[in-house]
Amino acid sequence: MDMNQYLSMFIDESNDHLQSLNENMLQLEGNPEDLGIVQVIFRSAHTLKGMAATMGFEDLASLTHKMENVLDLVRNEKLKMQDYIFDTMFKSLDALETMVQDITEGGQGKADVSSIVASLQAIENGEMTSGAAPATENKPANASIASAVELDEFQYSVLDQSIAEGHRVFYVDVLVSEHSQLKGVRAYMVFDMLERSGEVVKAYPSVQDIEQEKFERSFSLYYITTKEAHELEEGIMSISEIESAKLIQLDQETLQQMANQVAATVEGPPAPTAVAEVASSDNNSAPKEEAKAAPAKTAAPKQAAAPSRTIRVDIERLDVLMNLFSELLIDRSRLEQLASETGNNDLSDTVAHLSRVSTDLQNIVLKLRMVPVDTVFNRFPRMIRDLAKTLDKKIDLVITGAETELDRTVIDEIGDPLVHLLRNAVDHGVESIAERVAAGKPEMGTVNLRAFHSGNHVFIEIEDDGKGIYRDKLLKTAIKRGVVTEEQGAKMSDDEVNQLLFAPGFSTADIISDISGRGVGLDVVKSKITSLGGNVTIHSTPGKGTNFSVQLPLTLSIIAAMLVRLGSEKYAVPLSSIVETAIVQREQVRNIHGNKMITFRESLIPYLSLSEVFSVPDFNDADEQETEIVVIRKGDRLAAVAVEEFIGQSEIVLKSMGTYLPAIEGISGATILGDGQVALILDPNAFIK
Amino acid sequence: MEEELKVIVFKLGSEEYGIEVDKVQTIERMMPITRVPKTLSFVKGVINLRGVVIPVIDLRGRFSLPESEYTDQTRIVIVGVDDMQVGFIVDSANDVIDIKSSAIDSPPEVVGGVKARYLRGVAKLEDSRLLIMLNLNEVLNKSEIVQLESVEG
Q: Do A330 and B55 touch (CB under 8 A)?
A: no
Angle A655-A657-A662 from CA coordinates, rounded to 5°: 145
- Report the amino acid identity of residue A439: A
Whether the pLDDT of residue A26 is over 90: the answer is no
Q: Secondary structure of chain A: what % helix, strand, coil (to 5)?
A: 50, 25, 30
Chain B closest-CA separation from residue A672 CA (Å): 7
**A511 lies in the same domain as A567:** no
Whether the pLDDT of residue B145 is over 70: the answer is no
Is residue A455 assigned to a domain?
A: yes
Phi, psi of A672 (to 5 degrees): -110, 125
Mean pLDDT score across all residues of chain A: 77
Closest listed residue to residue A287, CA positions, set A300, A297, A274:
A274
Mean pLDDT for A111-122 is 78
**A519 lies in the same domain as A587:** no
**A172 lies in the same domain as A297:** yes
Q: How far is CA A201 from CA A156, A248, A337, A444, A637, in A?
A: 9, 15, 62, 51, 68
Helices (H), A540-640: 610-613
**A330 lies in the same domain as A461:** no
- Comparing CB atoms, the residue among B35, B51, B55 nearest residue A661 is B55
Residue A601: left if φ>0, alpha if ψ -120 to 50, beta else—which one? left
Q: Tell me, what's the ipTM?
A: 0.86
**A18 lies in the same domain as A86:** yes
Mean pLDDT for B136-151 is 66
Domain finish residue from A553, A579, A612:
A553
Contacts of A658 in chain B (CB under 8 A): 46, 53-55, 84-86
**A153 lies in the same domain as A207:** yes
pLDDT value for A512: 44
Mean pLDDT for A143-164 is 62
**A440 lies in the same domain as A502:** yes
* Domain CATH number, residue A646: 2.40.50.180
A25 in Cβ contact with A89 (< 8 Å): yes
Between A109 and A631, name the one with better pLDDT.
A631
Is residue A308 assigned to a domain?
A: no
Domain finish residue from A508, A530, A553:
A553
Whether the pLDDT of residue A179 is over 80: the answer is no
Contacts of A676 in chain B (CB under 8 A): 32, 48
pLDDT band per the 50, 70, 90 thresholds, residue A661: confident
Supply the range of the domain harboring residue A573.
Answer: 558-687
pLDDT value for A471: 83
CA distance A348 to A633: 37
Q: pLDDT, tens digit, for every residue of A328-342?
A: 887 887 888 888 888
CA distance B10 to B31: 18
- Specify the 3-state DSSP secondary structure of B144: helix
Supply the range of the domain harboring residue B46.
Answer: 4-152
CA distance A157 to A164: 10
Q: pLDDT, tens digit, for every residue of A417-426?
A: 888 888 888 8
**A142 lies in the same domain as A72:** no
Is residue A310 assigned to a domain?
A: no
CA distance B16 to A100: 58
Is residue A306 assigned to a domain?
A: no
Percent of chain A with pLDDT over 90: 8
**A348 lies in the same domain as A286:** no
B40 in Cβ contact with B46 (< 8 Å): no
Mean pLDDT for A661-685 is 84
Mean pLDDT for B108-124 is 73
Domain finish residue from A510, A531, A553:
A553
Phi, psi of A518 (to 5 degrees): -85, -5
- Comparing CB atoms, the residue among B34, B43, B149 nearest residue A679 is B34
**A116 lies in the same domain as A169:** no
**A268 lies in the same domain as A332:** no
* Domain CATH number, residue A279: 3.30.70.1110
Helices (H), A425-515: 433-438, 471-480, 486-491, 494-499
pLDDT band per the 50, 70, 90 thresholds, residue A555: low
**A248 lies in the same domain as A324:** no
Q: Which residues of A touch B (CB under 8 A)?
A: 323, 326-327, 330, 569, 613-617, 655-662, 664-667, 670, 672, 676-680
CA distance A506 to A480: 10
**Number of domains chain B contains:** 1
Q: pLDDT, tens digit, for every residue of A501-552?
A: 887 666 554 444 444 444 446 777 888 887 777 888 888 888 888 899 998 8
* Domain CATH number, residue B100: 2.40.50.180
- Lowest-confidence segment of A63-77, A176-190, A442-456 by average pLDDT: A176-190
Percent of chain A with pLDDT over 70: 83
